[in-house]
Structure 1
């Protein structure tokens, strides 16, 4: 591709990224029924990116890059330690390269720890896909961005935590403006980013767009569902747009001195509630996670961590006493007490607060982030090194409304 073609494609990308409208269909109904995430805008818009790149699954030797194109494509990432790039990566399974897809999740492997990399993403439209003939269309490409891989054993971790945004993308942008000049390793979204799941455009407009514009092209984020993300016709498709460690809705990871255990707390009402129409099983799902939590908290990674932090949308205490929160309390509190969890960070109640340990109940502090309304929205800043863990919770006016400090115990 010559310089003139690159400039032309780039101008078209910038123009069309903000102009994409409601999703329609240019694919056969049978294909859409089997794979609803292949739905595409009208063909006359041409081949465009629906989202900018966003980073997932950070590791010392790898990083996952995700983005969405509007038409089925063959996509890849070009990357390197300089802006000249030089290395190409795509995703393949059992010898077949992922293609004729729109949602791209490409893992860059064999990276060096604590190293800055530059990257650019490409999507080449597949205009026709016959058994013995594949016809390509236009290729689009992004700008060049960069990220830095974590160190193998970083001395510290610095992250931001948000919760209960409820389909207000301006909240993400506003809360990010409160972080100041502090460096950030990753951002964590602790559930209820949406009211319910409607379609792909909602995910793009209300989360991916403000995240990419604010940080996610160069700083990764992780996400756990809240109870509202389990609702709506697009609920089962949500998982395709994020890449969590271990490839599940619940997961664990260690960054520097902190071991994080992430729990998907499910719905807040009984499974038999008529509104769920008999198609949920969150009691069984939470019980499955309790068994997993017990195993994780017996692992070497958990035991040797200087600090043990749990992230879960619904808190184990200070809730409304409905079935889901009570079930979480019954299942997880004994495990957290038994394995000496140092801190639990939640949301859900829309009432921010820092709750000290209570003898005979929870031996760990519980921090609950705020809600979605102005004056209740919060940004949690967590920093930890070998000596102490510091948590600061800022309200949306910039005032600190909660703080907690833990001295190193191990």
Structure 2
């Protein structure tokens, strides 16, 4: 009797165990099916007069495309790249849109698909908007962030304070060092706690010295779209010509702290050669206002002290200064020092240097700018909304 009871219980246990295992497998399968392919909000990057680049995170290997158009009916599709391959990735998908009209609002949505042909899955994102740049307008407005260093509270506050504009320029040191899997994509596309930070303006991304550090720093160029496919660029927005330069590291390339991972000296030289040509482009040469953005300042309050790292980028200035002066640069906008500053133009350096703050709430600064026919006005605010600096420039032409 006891033996028979034991066998019955064992049989029941076996059935119950099998049932649990089956239920667990079904639950796991259901969870995988329920998992979204796209993660967070897509980001609009690399604005140009003829388009932008849409970048979004994915939860695993996926392919995707973008539907877009001048109305919510969309009507146009970008689903391939120059290599004849569907845009795809394990962490990020990027789709470059071209052939758009300047200064025009477009609607778009991202479509994400899995690679499982036996159980295909397709997700349609919500319809969103972007506006292309327009260099022929009489006015423009934009904002600058710098040195956020993955401080969620600061990023959230900056997002809250930043008004809609023609572009947002993230002026370097988005990170501390890139050592964790997945953090490059998360930081550059859904920063902070997943902020929808390009809903009000497309992003122009510039690296800082910390963005070159860590074993995953090589991923930045894969996930941060830029207008010309390089970490520097030039563009026109209304009456403002913007030249964006990459100052690289704040130490020598052979500094042991950098572990042989950087090659900034040839990069700065390449930018000098590029600068000679770009300042002759008509839309850049003839602009009423001429602005340079770079993470490390080209000037500093005290240039005599050697800290073992650069408070200002002497290496960059020695290569670029004469070319920028020839162009007629009026102001250089930077970060890096975690200390705001406004250094006025003088006889030696005939351009202003404006520097934003740092990652902590007390240090952080939002820089906004408005330009029209009469003036280009920069305003710096702390996170309480108090104005801490104002710089007003007259048009050159």
Q: Would you call these one fold, judging by a TM-score over 0.5?
A: yes
The match for 2:128 is 145
Matched, 1:328 2:316: yes
Offset of 1:156 from its aligned partner? Answer: 1.2
Matched, 1:408 2:395: yes
Equivalenced residue count is 360
* 1:282-293 equivalence runs, <5 A: 282-293=264-275
Matched, 1:193 2:174: yes
1:261 to 222, 243, 255: 243
2:354 to 344, 356, 367: 367
Tell me the TM-score normalised to structure 1 length.
0.81
Matched, 1:312 2:299: no
Tell me the TM-score normalised to structure 2 length.
0.84
Matched-pair contact (CA < 8 Å) for 1:55–1:218: no
Offset of 1:207 from its aligned partner? Answer: 4.2
Distance across 2 between alignment mates of 1:122 and 1:218: 21
1:251 to 226, 233, 239: 233
Matched-pair contact (CA < 8 Å) for 1:169–1:206: no
Matched-pair contact (CA < 8 Å) for 1:355–1:366: yes
For the structure 1 residues 152 and 256, does the alpha-carbon distance in structure 2 shift closer, same or farther, using more than 3 Å as the test? closer
Matched-pair contact (CA < 8 Å) for 2:38–2:58: yes
Offset of 1:69 from its aligned partner? Answer: 1.4
* 1:3-22 equivalence runs, <5 A: none
Matched, 1:85 2:67: no
Offset of 1:111 from its aligned partner? Answer: 2.8
Offset of 1:150 from its aligned partner? Answer: 3.4
Matched-pair contact (CA < 8 Å) for 1:90–1:98: yes
For the structure 1 residues 200 and 88, does the alpha-carbon distance in structure 2 shift closer, same or farther, using more than 3 Å as the test? farther
1:203 to 153, 172, 184: 184
- Which structure has the larger Rg over C-alpha atoms? 2
Matched, 1:237 2:219: yes
Offset of 1:279 from its aligned partner? Answer: 3.3
Distance across 1 between alignment mates of 2:199 and 2:393: 32
Offset of 1:323 from its aligned partner? Answer: 6.0
SS at the partner of 2:228?
A: helix
CA shift digits 1:24-82 (9 cap, x unpaired): xxxxxxxxxxxxxxxxxx96874421232111122333232111212222311122333
2:143 to 156, 160, 176: 160
1:48 to 30, 37, 51: 37
1:173 to 132, 156, 181: 156
Offset of 1:208 from its aligned partner? Answer: 2.5
Matched, 1:354 2:342: yes
Matched, 1:385 2:372: yes
RMSD over aligned Cα atoms: 2.3
2:61 to 46, 66, 72: 72
Matched, 1:270 2:247: no
2:95 to 99, 102, 106: 106
Segments ≥4 residues shifted beyond 4 Å: 42-45, 99-102, 319-324
Q: Which segments of 5 or more consecutive residues in structure 2 lack a partner in the other structure?
A: 1-30
